[in-house]
Chain A
Amino acid sequence: MAIINEVEMSKIPNLKRVEITSKDEMGGILSDLTHAVYPHDELYGEFCPVHTYIDCPPEKVFDYMSNVHSLEEWSYSVRDLVPADNNGLFVGKDKIGDNTKIYCKMVTNKEALLVDYHCAWDQGDDLWMIYLNRIVPADLVLNKPGSVVFWQNCRHPHYDNNPYKDKAPKGRPWVGDFWDMFYAGHMVELMNLKRILEFRHAHNLPIGPFIEEGSV
């Protein structure tokens, strides 16, 4: 048995651990933290997590999401991705903005079922818009076949202040101005992902993305 050094622990203020916070006190703390409703910015002000169950095996979900062109199917407005260099960087259009280029690089780990999209508008040198996706086998967490997808986004300071204004098309609103709608926007896209994957899996179709022959 490893014994935790309580003296070391006591040096860190405000920890809530059973040794110093009684169960009775803890009950009050938890009740205090449990509200009936939560303001939107408290839930989604700094981080934007969305998640859903998808009736499609995790390996298929990974294969699909880790193909950059899948974004052209399940995202609302990322289209026309083509390689921008020889190191896996792609460039396409984000049709939510006028004349807006979006750069994107996949960072994946098949064993851990991680698919991260490192992106940015207008330039590809600093990929600061990072969408973190974790796919979890649903049989582990929900005791049923399929997958759970957790998609996280963090409010990088560039959302509030575009450091690359010189590269932005004139008059185009900045992506960060819509942070407050990210929960809604990402949820809509996640539902696209769910519908596409569930449809193809249920109909025994190749998982896609379905790319026109000779188009890439």
Chain B
Amino acid sequence: MKPISIAAIATAMPIREIDNEFFGQNLKESKNKMFMGTNKRRHLGRDDNASDLIVRASKKIMDELNLDGGKDIDIIITNVSIPDQPFNGCGAVVSEQLGAKVKYIFDLHNTGCVSFIHMIDLARALMTANNVKTALVASVQSAAGRIFSQEDVKTRPQAAIPGDGCGVAYLVNDDKSPIISLVQENYPAYSNDMYASFECGRKWWEAGQSSGHIDFNPAKTAKITVRGNKLVPTISKQACKEAGIRTEDLDYLITNQPNIFFLRNWREALQLSEEKHLHTFEKYANLFGAGIPVTLCENIHNNRVQEGDIICLSGFSHAGDYAAACILKWGGQAFIA
């Protein structure tokens, strides 16, 4: 495969900052450590679109690299957790607003928290096989404002954990900031352990009395925890092995950020110090698929990640149905936080 690089990465966060007060007494009185550790998060407003965030972040990249939308973007790939429209994806909306003339648009709806890596893999395959040179990949988490801010949902103990945000990367066919290795696994047996849940029993497309939220199978919570604990270190090690490096050679680890325990357990399992495990959980909460690119971008921006650093991006999605990891050698290119 041709080497591909992250030529630039940018974020766009919703303006609305939500503190813990928003979730009321239940959160304050909750003694469950599982739902602690976040101080703030962003929420997408009712009239905000995920596509707006993608456009905002993409324009930062286009300005920084002086890109011409009409010829410098060949592929747009998006993943939005709770889409703007249930029927058609937002990739075409993004393309229109960027004035792009692209060869392919994909709006993906799986691989949640590892969608960024999944999209890089897809872009790499297309860029290798179809002689296209560039791709814009965008991961947006929108479930916090759209689901967990609703009156009958926000008092649930887990409502404070999701946060909204968007990360966009511009991929090119060169080896300046290369993806050295990338591995993906899927575990279909776990695909039914997470779902939309409605108190009133309605289907998601039906009218009803309850807003609904995203839930895990309660009988599987212990299994999902142990699954998650194992999946991420395992796939991270696999990516390191494929890259021909040892985990101790990593300068940084960036994972998805579901809660403080997973973060702790993953770095413990990989024997990496807290300083080497970058995340933005306290400030942005669980950004689902946007977590990895947002954390990467912020840490390039604040000079923590330096040219030449070897970084492992990894995570698992939903209740463990997908896991992915890649090794990136950061080449010191453009970044726009």
Contact = CB atoms under 8 A, between A and B. Distances in A.
Interface of A: 36-37, 39-41, 173-174, 177-181
A130 B268 CA distance: 32
B268 A40 contact: no
Contact of A177 (B219, B229, B268, B271): B219
Interface in B205-251: 218-220, 222-223, 225-226, 229-230
B269 interface: yes
A37 B226 contact: no
Contact of B271 (A37, A40, A178, A180): A37
A40 B229 contact: yes
Contact of B230 (A36, A41, A174, A181): A41
19 contacts: A37-B268, A37-B269, A37-B271, A39-B229, A39-B269, A41-B226, A41-B230, A173-B218, A174-B219, A177-B219, A177-B220, A177-B222, A177-B223, A178-B222, A180-B222, A180-B223, A180-B225, A181-B222, A181-B225
A179 B229 CA distance: 15
A173 B220 CA distance: 9
B219 A173 contact: yes
Nearest to B226: A180
A22 to B, nearest CB: 30
Nearest to A45: B226
B222 A179 contact: yes
Contacts, number: 27
Given A173-B218, A173-B219, A36 B271 contact: yes
A37 B271 CA distance: 8
**Residue picked from A40, A174, A180, most chain B C-beta under 10 Å:** A180
Contacts of B226: 40-41, 180
B32 to A, nearest CB: 14
Contacts of A180: 222-223, 225-226
B214 to A, nearest CB: 19
A178 B224 CA distance: 10
Given A174-B219, A177-B220, A180-B225, 12 more contacts: A37-B269, A39-B229, A39-B269, A40-B226, A40-B229, A40-B230, A41-B230, A173-B218, A173-B219, A177-B223, A178-B222, A180-B222
Contacts of A41: 226, 230
A112 B226 CA distance: 36
A186 B66 CA distance: 60
Nearest to B220: A177
B29 to A, nearest CB: 21
A141 B149 CA distance: 57
A174 B218 CA distance: 11
Contacts of B268: 37
Interface string B135-156: 0000000000000000000000
Contacts of B220: 177
A178 B218 CA distance: 10
Contacts of A179: 222
- What 3 pairs across the A-B complex have the smallest Cβ distances? A180-B226, A173-B219, A180-B222
Nearest to A41: B226
**Residue picked from B220, B222, B223, B268, most chain A C-beta under 10 Å:** B222
Contacts of B229: 39-40
Contacts of B269: 37, 39
B307 to A, nearest CB: 31
Nearest to A36: B271
A198 B271 CA distance: 36
Contacts of A174: 219
